[in-house]
A and B are shown apart, each in its own frame.
Chain A
Amino acid sequence: MFDRQHRPSRISVAGIVLLSVALAIIPFVATTTGLRQASQIIISVLAVLGVNVAAGYGGMISLGHGVFVGVGAFATGYYLDDLSLPWLLAIALGTLTAALSGALVGLPALRIKGIHLALVTLGMAIVFQPLSKRFPKVTGGVSGQGIEARFDAPNWWPGDSRMTSAVYRYLFCVLVVVLALWVTWNIVNSRFGRSMRALRDNDTAAAIYGVDLVSARVTTFAVSAGLAGLCGALQVLLVPFVSQDKFPAQESLVIYASAVVGGLGTIWGPVLGVIARTAVGKAGDLVAGFDGFGPMGDFFTLLDESAFVFGVGLIVLTFFFPRGLAGIGRKRQPSG
């Protein structure tokens, strides 16, 4: 945990510097497509952060955060096109809608705990695709629908090419993600954050010390779903198209896996998880393009499937580094 005894170590300072440099270089070297892909990777931190808040800090396992990403995306699209709201308001309301749906799921989580909550949220992830096909007006049904609104650079922004807008969107996404990390860090270290963790470690004891179980659980889930919803809203900003086929159950599971692989209950875990996911994907692309493994080639193409690597990674890390990538360098602490 981060508190006064655990100021950022040298490694994390070096990491932050390296990451900032990389983020600053990307707009100068990437194409518009590359920039959009980079932005998509960066905003996926938000969904993973959402799982981290629920599972890592709140102790509520959620295997269905892809649902909240979907709700955020569909809602934002609806506010933009059907209600013709401006972008910032639509994003804010989309996030809020996802947060409300999260609060709704948080209600049963008051009684359903641990492995049973994992079961319910997994069911939710599986139901989401067929359910969203039932509301074609908002979701575009089976094939999805385009969003007419565009998030373009304003007039005062220098330059007026397509690249300019891509850079503008990229910087906007980076800003939002950094803000979200900062706000989350403050939340988990606030009075509310402490009650959240107390609830995770021992809810009876937390209640005795005056934590309101109902509001703490529901709020935690709402915040966590809101973060995932924000990810969905920004997806619409980057690619103005919403479709149910972006949200299969496996997506929810990979988000969960990224959170665990990165490290639950740490603020940098989600960032590490997403970096790992990206690195695995890139390594897979390289291996898939290389054709010299002979009969073993078929096994190596599996590396191309990031879901496979993450599945295996989840198992391996559970055995050897239960605190995830973020916990590898850290001293063992009494686990919560």
Chain B
Amino acid sequence: MDLVLLLQRVFDALFNSAIYSSLALALVIIFRSTGLLNFAQGEMATFTAYIAFVLLSGPQPRLTGGGLAGLVPGVPFTIPLAIVGAVLCGMAVGAATERVLIRPLGGASDLALVNITIGLLLATNSLMAQWWGTGPRIFPAIFPSGAGQHFTILGARLRYSTVGVWIVLLSVLVLLIVLLRHTRTGLAFRAVSISPSNAELVGVRVGPTLMYGWAMASGFGALAACLSANSVLLEPNMMLRVLVYAFAAATLGGLDSPKGALVGGLIIGLSQTLIPAYVPFIGFELSVLPALLAMVLILLIRPAGLYGTKRIERV
């Protein structure tokens, strides 16, 4: 086995790992606090990537779509500013979703929650196709990603963009941990995640706290979409497959464990690059199959994943 090639593949995989980790984190934050799998997370994230794209390109009628034309600022934003705008917009969408669609349902059945998120997925997907067209768009690179833009370690190339994505992800994570540990809202959120009813009894306002959770999660989703839009091309179905990887990562790590989402994303990202490289049948396009199989196996054998809480069902 060619060790340099292996190292190269690992470096390449790290980029995707960061994306899967952040989307998986979004899924885990919501599952942990609300107990639902947000199937629309990927589409909500893609939507914000389009927002970033609109902010970047300024007012061009065909591009912005009629519905949003009035809201677009006159001057194109710079890339970091556009991403911040998109993340804020994603957070607003997430918070609104919780407030308008999830909270009024109360503790509804699994079926109702699946219906809401699938409805949201379908609606957002065709909304994007209608406003921005189905053709792929080239999203500008955020980090220098030209031919020579890489570190060379032991003969393998580690791209600046990979390093950049990890720096962004880790710094946002640190920010998140600080917020959770050192603010009242963070404390309230941790309490609600452990037990909503107990948190309510000691005076935590559960509803608004969950809304912050959704905003946070959707912010992560938006970040994942903006960071990956350059490498996978921006189109309405962009995050559909990424969603499977992210769900596989979250399941592998344990659906209610943020640490698990990070580790799971890392493992799934690596396997997505390494398995097709050494198993010719899988190839690039089918690399989503091992992720799905891994997900099924984990749910069958160890539903709690690596770090998740084991659920004991009372019968």
Which residues on A are within 8 Å of B, measured CB to CB? 55, 61, 63, 108, 111-112, 114-116, 118-120, 122-124, 126-127, 130-131, 133-134, 204, 249-250, 253-254, 256-257, 260, 264, 295, 297-299, 301-302, 304-305, 307-308, 310-315, 317-319, 322
Contact = CB atoms under 8 A, between A and B. Distances in A.
Contacts of B291: 123
B37 A311 contact: no
A253 B130 contact: no
B180 interface: no
Contacts of A126: 240-241, 243-244, 288, 292
A249 B130 contact: no
Nearest to A56: B111
Interface of B: 36-37, 39, 65-67, 101, 104-105, 108, 110-116, 118-127, 129-131, 240-241, 243-244, 247-248, 251, 281, 283, 285-286, 288-289, 291-292, 295-296, 299-300, 303, 315
Given A63-B118, A126-B240, A298-B66, A115 B123 contact: no
B129 A61 contact: no
A116 B286 contact: no
Q: Is the interface of B mostly helix, strand, loop or mixed?
A: helix
A217 to B, nearest CB: 14
Nearest to A317: B115
A111 B299 contact: yes
Contact of A124 (B115, B120, B292): B292
B36 A115 contact: yes
Contacts of A119: 37, 39, 247, 251, 295
Contacts of A114: 110
B237 to A, nearest CB: 8
B66 A295 contact: yes
B123 A312 contact: yes
Nearest to B122: A311
A314 B309 CA distance: 32
Contacts, number: 147
B125 A307 contact: yes
Nearest to A126: B244
B126 A118 contact: no
Given A311-B126, A314-B116, 4 more contacts: A126-B288, A130-B288, A264-B111, A297-B66
**Which among A120, A134, A305, A314 has the greatest number of chain B C-beta atoms within 10 A?**
A314
A120 B247 CA distance: 9
B119 A127 contact: no
B129 A305 contact: yes
A63 B121 CA distance: 12
A264 B247 CA distance: 27
Contact of A257 (B119, B283, B315): B119
Contact of A134 (B112, B130, B281): B281
B67 A299 contact: yes
B244 A123 contact: yes
Contacts of A315: 101, 115-116, 119-120, 123
A322 B285 CA distance: 38
Contacts of B118: 63, 253, 256-257, 311, 314
Contacts of A312: 119, 123
Nearest to B124: A311
B225 to A, nearest CB: 17
